[in-house]
Structure 1
Amino acid sequence: MFTSNRHIAHSPYPDRLKEILNIAAVNESREWLAFWPGINMAGTPLWTLPGLAQQFGVAHISLKDESTRSPLGSFKALGAPIALVRLIKRRWPEHALSADDLFAGRHRDLLAHFTVISATDGNHGKALAAAAQAIGCGCVIVIHANVIAEREQAIAAYGARIVRSAGNYDQSVEEAARLAAQNGWHVVSDTSYEGYEDVPRDVMQGYGIIAAEVIEQAKCTPDHCAFTHVFVQGGVGGLAAGIVGQLWEFHQLRRPRFVVVEPQEADCLYQSAVAGRLKKATGSVDSIMAGLACGEASPLAWKMLEKGADHFMTIDDSEAVQAMRVAAAGNVFDPPLVIGESGAAGLAGLHALLRQPALKAEAGLDAQSRVLLISTEGATAPSVYEACVGEAAESVLARQAAWLPPSSTTR
C-alpha cells in the first residue's frame, strides 16, 4: 500500500517543530555520546551502491550502515543513552552532572536507587540496558509475548531485569508505564503518549545524528542535497522524525522527499496519513520486522511526520527478506552487506515502488533520482538472520572483507 501525504508542508522548517527537534540539540547529543566507550561516533559507513542503482534504474543509491554503530548492532545506540543522560541531568539539576562523568560511571552512588524501565521489541531495550550498566543505575525491560528468547538473552547480558508481558508491543508499553508508576521507576521510551514527551524527544534528537553524519559524508550544503529521496523505517515514527527534522532544518525548501516504510501488519503511520490524524494499525502487529511491529504511532513523532513526510507505504515480510538477500549477495560493483529484518525495510520499499509504474511516478522516482537508504541494524538476532538469508552473518561479512577496498564504495 502507498499513499501521498495530503498535509505535507512545502515550507521552511517551522519554529514549532524546532521545539521538538533542532540541529543544535542533535549536535549537543553527538558531543555527549562521544564519551560513551564502545560507540562509533566517527561515523558509520555510507556505502554507494552503483550496481543496485543500475539494476533499479536510478542515478544513485547510498546506504547508511548502522550495524557498525556499536556492539549493540543497531541505531538504537544513539537514542536510549542520550535520553537517559538528559533524564538524569533533569532529575538532579543541582549537581551539574556531565555526560563524561555519567558514562564513566562516576555517579554510581548517586544513582544506586534510580531505576529506569522501558518496553522493547529488542534493540531499544538492549541500548537502554547497556547505557544503564555503564552509568550505574538500575534497569528493567518489558518484552512482549512475540519477542524471541535470543533477543531477551541479548538484553539480559547487559544486566537488565527482564519482565515478559502478554500481548504485543503496545501492551508492553502500557505494562512498563504501570510498573513505573507502581515502583517509582522512570520510563525511558522511544514512543510518546499523553503527558510523556520529554524522553521520546531526546531519543529522536539522538537519532538525528544519523542524518548529521550523512550531511557531512555526502558533502551536502544547505543549497544542495545529495539525495532526491530518503527511504526511512516507520515503527512508532521516532527514527523517521529524527531524520526528517534534521534534513528539513538543514536544507529548508531544498529538502529531499521522504518515504516512510513500515510492515503491512503494523501500518499505524500509513493509516494515520490516509486519515489525516493518528490511527491504530489495522493488521496483526506481528512481523518479522520486529523493530517496526508497532500498533500505535508516537504522537510526538507524528507532529513531525504529518507535515514533513511526503509518502507512506507498507511492505510485507517476504519483501523485507528478499531485500536482506539482495544486500547479502552483493554484486561485482557493490559489497555484500549484513542488513537485519527491520533494516531492510527501506531497500524493500524502494524496490516495491520501482516495480509499479504509477506509484513510481507519484513518488517522483526516475532515472535521475538519487536515493538514500538507512540500514538500521545488522544481524541483531543471528539465528533469524541466517534463517532469512540462508547464510550466517559472519560469512557475509567475510565476503565483504574480501571485496574491493572500502574507499571505492564509501563516501
Structure 2
Amino acid sequence: VFITATDGNHGEGVAWAAKKFGCQAYVYMPKGTVESRVQAIRDVGATEVLVTDYFYDDTVRMANKRAEENGWTMVQDTAWEGYEKIPTYIVQGYTTLAKEAVEQLKEKGVDAPDLVILQAGVGAFAGGVLGYLVNHYGEKLPKVIIAEPDAVACIFESAKINDGNPHASTGSCETVMAGLNCAEPCLVTYPTLRDYPVAYAACPDFVTEEGMWLLGKPLAGDDKVISGESGAVGMGLLYELTQNPDLAEIKARLGLDEKSVVLLISTEGNTDPDHYAEVLAKETL
C-alpha cells in the first residue's frame, strides 16, 4: 500500500504506477485543491483521494503519520532527515527529462543553452534537472534561474538568508501555482540549488498567467503549448526579463538578447480548465 501527498502531478503518477502493479494508493491533497485535479487522480485508479484541511507541507506530515501507523510505504518527492532514499530515486528519475532535453538541443545544433529557467516547489524537479546539467556541462554550465511563486518561495528565501542551510518559506502559501505551493525545501536537492544557480526569482501569479497566455497563443509559425499554472512560470519570467524595463539591469547581467537560447520545461498541462480558459480568454497580456 502506497501513500503520498501531492498538489497534482506526483500523486497522479503514484496512483497510476500503483494500479499498474496491483497495489493500493492513498493520495492526500492540500486544502484548496480544485476538483479537476482530484478527479484526475481518481480516474487513474487511486484507492482514495482526500483533500485535507492543511497546506502542502502539513499534508505531507499527515500522510507520513498514516504511513507509519499502518505500515504503508510513503512515496514522496520531498525529503527530510531520515527520509531520503525514495526522494533520491524520484530526483534521479527527473534526470531522464534533462538528458532528453540536452539530446534534443543537440539535434537542433545547440551545444548548450545560454539560460535555463527551472521552476521549484520543494526543489526535487529543479534539483534533479540542475544536477544533471551540472554533471553534463561542467565548467560550461549555462546560467540557471530558479523560479517560484512569491507567496511560497522557500528556495528564494533560503538564498536570501544565505547561511548555507534550507529555510521554510514565510509567505502566505496563496498562489495559483498549486504544483509549486510548497514551503519547505527538499533536503536531497537543496545543496545543488544553493550552489549552482546564478539567480532566484519569486514570481507573482500574473507572471505565470502571462506564460500560460504566451504559450497558448503563439506567434505564427510557433507550436501551441498547453501549459498550466505550475508549468508556465518560466515563460512568464522570461517575458518579464526581456520586456519589463524595471528588469533591464538583470537582463543585461544575464546577457539576454535576441540571439540567446533559453531552455524552459513545462511540467503541467491544463489541470485547472476553468482558470486556464479564463487566462486564455484575454485578448492581450
- What TM-score results when the alignment is normalised by the length of structure 1? 0.64
- Once the two structures are overlaid, the 10-residue window that deviates more, 116-125 or 156-165, is 156-165
- Residue 191 of structure 2 aligns with which residue? 303
Percent identical pairs in the alignment equals 35
Match of 1:196 in 2: 83
Does 2:251 correspond to 1:365? Answer: no
Partner of 2:154 in structure 1? 268
CA positional deviation for 1:368: 3.8
- Alpha-carbon distance in 2 for matches of 1:338, 1:163: 27
1:124 counterpart = 2:14:
no
Q: Once superposed, what is the RMSD of the aligned Cα atoms?
A: 1.5
Stretches of structure 2 that go unaligned for 5 or more consecutive residues are none
Give the superposition deviation at 1:371: 0.7
Task: Report if the CA contact (8 A) 2:36-2:271 is conserved.
Answer: no
Partner-residue secondary structure (3-state), 1:258 = strand
- In the alignment, which of 30, 33, 42 is matched to residue 156 of structure 1? 42
Residues 209, 233 of structure 2: 8 Å contact kept: no
Q: TM-score, normalised by structure 2?
A: 0.92
Partner of 1:292: 180
The partner residue of 1:340 within 228, 245, 250 is: 228
Structure-2 residue corresponding to 1:395: none
- The alignment covers a number of residue pairs equal to 274
More contact order relative to length (CA 8 Å, sep ≥ 6): 1
- Which secondary structure state, in structure 1, belongs to the residue aligned with residue 117 of structure 2? strand
Which residue of the other structure, out of 134, 140, 156, is the alignment partner of 1:254?
140
| AA partner of residue 193 (structure 1) | W
Deviation at 1:380, TM superposition (A): 2.1
Instruction: Give the aligned residue type for 1:311.
Output: A
Q: 2:61 aligns with which of 174, 181, 185?
A: 174
Asked if the contact 1:314/1:349 (under 8 Å) is kept, the reply is no
Aligned mate of 2:269, from 357, 378, 391: 378
How far off its partner does 1:336 sit?
Answer: 2.2
Distance in 1 (CA, whole Å) between partners of 2:255 and 2:169 is 27
Counterpart among 22, 28, 51 of residue 142 in structure 1: 28
Q: Partner amino acid for 1:381?
A: D
Q: Secondary structure at the match of 1:313?
A: strand
| CA displacement 1:260-291 (0-9 Å, x = unmatched) | 10101011110011112211112111211110
What one-letter code is carried by the residue in structure 2 that aligns with 1:190? D
1:225, 1:254 within 8 Å by CA — same for their partners in 2? no
Does structure 2 retain, via aligned residues, the 8 Å contact 1:225–1:255?
no
Letter in 2 for 1:298: C
Q: Does 1:165 align with 2:52?
A: yes
CA apart distance, 1:174: 0.7
Kindly state the Cα deviation for residue 326 of structure 1 after the two structures are TM-superposed: 1.3
Amino acid at match of 1:207: Y
Superposition deviation, residue 255 in structure 1: 1.2
Q: Over alpha carbons, which structure has the higher Rg?
A: 1
Would you say the 8 A contact 2:115–2:262 is kept in 1? yes
| SS class of match (1:260) | strand
Q: Structure 1: how far apart are the matches of 2:34 and 2:65?
A: 23
